[in-house]
Structure 1
Amino acid sequence: MVAHVGDFGLARFVHQDQTNPSDISSGWATRRGTTGYAPPEYGLGNGVSIYGDMYSFGVLLLEIFTGKRPTDSDFVQDLNLHRYVQIALQDQQVTSVVDQQLLPVQDPELEGRTSSSSSTREIIVACVTSILQIGLLCSKELPKDRLLIGDALRELQRIKDNYNQLHLLST
């Protein structure tokens, strides 16, 4: 749970000796973004856009809450981090993909009893599920299908507010 600086937005470098604008544009680096975080459209030669940043943000959310990198060796062929989380949400198996460090330890002896720890766990699982859904919406394959940052921010704020209210009620 250590924060690192990400590479949101794309910076490109040109050779300093180029002065002609047409030379400068042809001197841009062709690689765009970081493997696993760069949206599919960048590989197709599409221009940089806010939709690409949203894709990267979505992947980052999925990575933070699953503890898996998009370049993890588990992801082969058609399976990627987005699809991995999507399958878990469809099968209602969120706890199987969530980074276990985010969840309170579940005591098997208290199973079935009402306790504040199981209530807290349920609240956390519900919130993480909502955050994973936002990650999926932000990292959709087609740029126009992705959530915009303002909408993602509102949803994340709503989840935070709900968590705070539910957590207060359960304690």
Structure 2
Amino acid sequence: MLLSSPSLQNGSLRVTYGDLHDATNGFSSSNLVGTGSSGSVYKGHLLHFDRVIAIKVLNLETHGAAKSFMAECKALGKMKHRNLVKIITCCSSADYKGEDFKAIVFEFMSNGSLENLLHNSEDESKNLSLNFTQRVDIALDVANALDYLHHNVEQVVVHCDVKPSNVLLDDTLVAHLGDFGIAKLIHGAMENSSKAQVNSSAIKGTIGYVPPEYGAGGQVSPHGDIYSYGILLLEMLTAKRPTDSMFYDNLNLHKFCKMKIPEEILKIVDSSLLMPFSEDQKFVVKNNIKECLVMFAKIGIACSEEFPTQRMIIKDVIMKLLEIKQKLTC
């Protein structure tokens, strides 16, 4: 039986297919905000619920979709952090044709994904170009989210798919890490990261961001998220995707940045970061901008080292980013 409006059950919002159908005007294309292999995301308004919501409708024909749904609900249901996308509720029912329907309801992030802002891939009318200080803040937000997942929950959570399209920004540009469809829960607090591992044979992840040890069938661990995070930082710095056509044979984003710092840092950074200072290169050097760009690049490089144990630990990342932030405000 379909309810006429969302209801509360055990303190959490309970919604039906009918509620979500009405919230999105029949899953109208005008409310579609994104689509991918795992499903589609719609913007919506629930009756008697004051916030705008995002509804991720799973494509159940995709292999492992039901398992992905359970993983995401399980992972996000127990976690609360200002830099994680907040899950409002999950819906598992039947649509009006009697077919299985599964969806996850989140808080809507009005500034979309970091991917869109870095590469202007959607809604160019916003024309929001992130300055360096904003990028440092976003990097800090994602680092704090990973620190929480790896150290501050009962079960260590390895996200397994850290990338710009999974970093969502609210109306004040606070970053929230989302899409836990392939996240792995590992028993026990992370006293010893070497013990916090599961096999990576089933991990898909995203080409360019997957750590080399996963491709070789190695163990899933927090070190893998750190690698992906390092690539994310280098992409934020250069506005070049790790899959850019310039990277082939033995050249990748990590090696490209490593070769160019510190002397050639200004040649590889996203040109929009230098736009305010383009008339005065001396200003860039004098005001710590160049030094801070090099520091940011070094963090990305240190996080994306080939061997897991050589990668920077997340608490050191946070300290270094705070140091950059302080220098930028001097």
2:308 is matched with which residue: 143, 153, 159?
143
Q: Which has the higher helix share?
A: 1
1:43 is matched with which residue: 201, 215, 219?
215
2:175 aligns with none
1:115 aligns with none
1:67 is matched with which residue: 239, 248, 272?
239
Letter of the 2:314 partner, please give it. I
Partner deviation per Cα, 1:31-58 (whole Å, 9 max, x = no partner) = 4311000100001101111100000000
CA contact (8 A) 2:223 2:309 kept: yes
**Is 1:57 paired with 2:229?**
yes
CA contact (8 A) 1:58 1:136 kept: yes
- Closer, same or farther in 2 for the Cα pair 1:144/1:8, shift >3 Å? farther
1:5 aligns with 166
CA contact (8 A) 1:137 1:147 kept: yes
Equivalents in 2 of 1:142, 1:8: separation in Å?
Answer: 26
- Closer, same or farther in 2 for the Cα pair 1:98/1:77, shift >3 Å? same
Q: Which has the higher strand share?
A: 2
Equivalents in 2 of 1:150, 1:82: separation in Å?
Answer: 21
Letter of the 2:249 partner, please give it. Q
* Normalised TM-score (structure 2): 0.40
- In structure 1, the gaps of 5 or more residues are 14-24, 112-117, 166-171
Partner deviation per Cα, 1:54-102 (whole Å, 9 max, x = no partner) = 0000000000010100000100000000000001016x10111100100
CA contact (8 A) 2:231 2:300 kept: yes
1:131 is matched with which residue: 271, 278, 296?
296
2:248 is matched with which residue: 57, 76, 89?
76
Sequence identity of aligned pairs in percent? 36
- Closer, same or farther in 2 for the Cα pair 1:51/1:12, shift >3 Å? closer
Equivalents in 1 of 2:298, 2:222: separation in Å?
Answer: 19
CA contact (8 A) 2:201 2:217 kept: no
**Is 1:32 paired with 2:204?**
yes
Equivalents in 2 of 1:41, 1:8: separation in Å?
Answer: 22
Deviation at 1:132, TM superposition (A): 0.4
Deviation at 1:30, TM superposition (A): 2.5
Segments of 4+ in structure 1 off by > 4 A?
A: 6-10
Deviation at 1:29, TM superposition (A): 7.0
Equivalents in 2 of 1:86, 1:10: separation in Å?
Answer: 32
Letter of the 2:166 partner, please give it. V
Equivalents in 1 of 2:306, 2:179: separation in Å?
Answer: 18
Between 1 and 2, higher relative CO (CA 8 Å, sep ≥ 6) is seen in 1
* Normalised TM-score (structure 1): 0.74
- In structure 2, the gaps of 5 or more residues are 1-113, 118-163, 168-177, 185-197
1:154 aligns with 319
CA contact (8 A) 2:182 2:203 kept: no
**Is 1:97 paired with 2:268?**
yes
CA contact (8 A) 1:8 1:56 kept: no
Equivalents in 1 of 2:313, 2:180: separation in Å?
Answer: 15
1:85 aligns with 257
Partner deviation per Cα, 1:113-163 (whole Å, 9 max, x = no partner) = xxxxx32x2222211110000000000000000001111011100111111
